[in-house]
């Protein structure tokens, strides 16, 4: 889960994963993904908690895409689950 960490720390964690990832490997991040728009979503409430209690936060798909790119990864898909969490998949660039 990356939501515990600020962006710079997340990029460093993802870079370390990328460094040992085979060319055909993939990185899976299990985290809440904030949907676009103003509709209610549990991740938005958790985001407020994270912003006040820790240095982390919840992120949108676009924000995950930016983190992954900075670490040498390409976000390939976001897989929803039956919970608030999704699986964010990335592959080496």
Find all residues with CB under 8 Å of 74, minimum gap 6, and list them: 68, 90, 91, 92, 93
Q: Give whole-number Cα distances, 4 to 55, 86, 93, in Å.
A: 7, 16, 25
Catalytic residue ranges: 3
């Amino acid at each position: 889960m990356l939501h515990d960490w600020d962006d710079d720390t997340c990029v460093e964690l993802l870079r370390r994963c990328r460094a040992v990832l085979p060319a055909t490997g993939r990185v899976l991040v299990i985290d809440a993904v904030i949907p676009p728009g103003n509709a209610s979503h549990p991740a938005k409430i958790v985001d407020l908690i994270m912003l006040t209690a820790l240095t982390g936060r919840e992120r949108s798909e676009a924000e995950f895409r930016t983190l992954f790119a900075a670490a040498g990864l390409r976000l390939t898909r976001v897989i929803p689950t039956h919970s608030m969490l999704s699986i964010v998949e990335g592959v080496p660039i």
